[in-house]
A and B are shown apart, each in its own frame.
Chain A
Amino acid sequence: MSRLQESLEQGKFTITGEVGPPKGVDLHHCMDEEVSYIKDRVVAINVTDNQSSVMRISSLSICALLAQQGLEPILQITCRDRNRLGIQGDILGAYVLGIRNILALTGDHNTAGDHPDSKPVYDLDSVSLLTALTSLKNGKDLAGEELNGIPEDIIPGAIVTPGADPVEMQLIKMEIKIEAGARFFQTQAIYDPKVFESFMNKASRYKVPVLCGIVIIKSAGMAKYMNNFVPGVQVPDTMITPLKEASKEDRPKKSIELMAEFIKEVKPMCQGLHIMAMGWERYVPELLDICDL
């Protein structure tokens, strides 16, 4: 059983982090900086899969390196770039490299990234990918063929967007994902505790652990960008204004304060946090210290 699964099943407040593989083969920033700041403070680390449809080192490779170092990776798999043969092969490949936690995503469309002229695959989607994971865990592939050696302790996870409108559609899809095999959820970034509370009031009936998504807002500009371009994310003015007023040197401190306030509010509502530091990994320990986590 993976450490993530153990933590979730024991009902512990579980914190996960996230790193993005680099474009190119220089691993210094990713492994020696991003990972090293957060590794002692999180149970597991997500590794993104061609995040934002921008081509990078494969998630599987970075996850394998993390596993080699005794860390606990969460392999993110999107359905944009590979069909069901490729994806199932990767899942089995990840397993033999010690990877147990897999997060199933549909994936941003190709046109959003740096290879807009590429062919979108979407043979599977987040739901059918979960179906594939469940099938493999039960010893058969999607074609119903038996596996020689069964990856039975894979733990499939999925995502949900609490701030999306219509949220009802998110909840329906969450239910479909659970039926397909999702055993934990990490959420898209959310900044309004009231919106999160109202979401959790509906989602808690599913009795599947939810880790609240935290993207650290670094500046008012970033907040505005997210409001305009990231679906289902709304940073309130009560966060934007203090960041705008803070001097450049004080900004990290202010930002951490604001995030800590939010975390303290949502902590009793869910079973953990998923922290996406986006280059500010060095501030994560301080943020968690303030929250007594």
Chain B
Amino acid sequence: MVVSVPKPAEELLEMLDGYKNMFIVACGGCPVGCDSGGMKRVDELTEFFPQNGKEVTGNVLIDFLCNKALVGSKLIYHLKKLKKSQAVLVVSCGIGVQATGKMVDIPVVPANDTLSSQGMQGLWPSSERCAGCGTCYLAFTGGICPITSCSKSLINGMCGGQHDGKCEVETERDCGWNLIYLRLKEVGKLDNLKKIPHLRDFRKMDVSDKERHTTRWALEKEVIYEAPKQSSEKEEA
């Protein structure tokens, strides 16, 4: 399971600064299992934002946001509301935020920080990646992840190695920061680059004990069939 935790309320408001309203897209997969998503969270957010001067234009819960075709096929029923929205708040791991960002031409904002995915990457067949950095930057970077799209995982902009839009590490590899630059320029949000905190907090990558005790993780601990102990077998014999 991909573990994610809700971003603090003040951070959500900071990321949504300048937007009057938003549409909420939520994932019905992992975030439900780790209590950071699902309808319960959507309801909470739908109540929270109007109290803080922001309108919620609507919401949709989609089984898995790590399936771009599914995301597109469901969002199509909400076009009317999406067209009225200035931003899309995505309640999922970083993959879901990027996938949604690819499907709609509206700035996407992550509602969660994604932690280590601990072996499970969902069923994501496409090119977007989430490294579980614990500090989702996607609101600032136009829905393109700087941690996974930049070979150096830089958070403060393009390095000197970018050449014709490609990375210094591989001639065919797109420079992630060039993609971010082009996207932000397109949506008129280049100023976002000045809002990113300069330092990363690597502690946030770790999954705390509390997060390990969420519902789905706990399922793994249930033993369906308990084999008889070896010692008791001997006794019976």
Contact = CB atoms under 8 A, between A and B. Distances in A.
Nearest to B197: A128
A166 B178 CA distance: 8
A173 B156 contact: yes
Interface in A128-176: 128, 131, 142, 159, 161, 164-166, 168-170, 172-173, 175-176
Contact of A128 (B162, B163, B168, B199): B199
Interface in B162-209: 162-164, 168-169, 177-178, 181, 185, 190, 193-194, 198-200, 202
A142 B177 contact: no
A231 interface: yes
Contact of A123 (B164, B190, B194, B202): B202
Contacts of A168: 181, 185, 190
Given A120-B152, A231-B162, A166 B169 contact: no
Nearest to B167: A109
Contact of B155 (A109, A125, A164): A125
A219 B160 CA distance: 24
How many A residues are at the interface, by size bracket? 20 to 34
Contacts of A170: 158
A46 interface: no
B70 interface: no
B15 interface: no
B153 interface: yes
Interface in A87-127: 106, 108-109, 111-112, 120, 122-127
A54 to B, nearest CB: 14
Nearest to B193: A172
Contact of B153 (A84, A108, A122): A122
B160 A159 contact: yes
Contacts of B155: 125
Nearest to B154: A125
Contacts of A176: 156-157, 193-194
A169 B177 contact: yes
B121 interface: no
Interface of A: 84, 106, 108-109, 111-112, 120, 122-128, 131, 142, 159, 161, 164-166, 168-170, 172-173, 175-176, 179-180, 188, 231-232
Given A124-B199, A125-B152, A128-B199, 13 more contacts: A106-B160, A109-B168, A122-B152, A123-B200, A126-B156, A128-B198, A128-B200, A168-B185, A172-B193, A176-B194, A179-B194, A231-B163, A231-B168
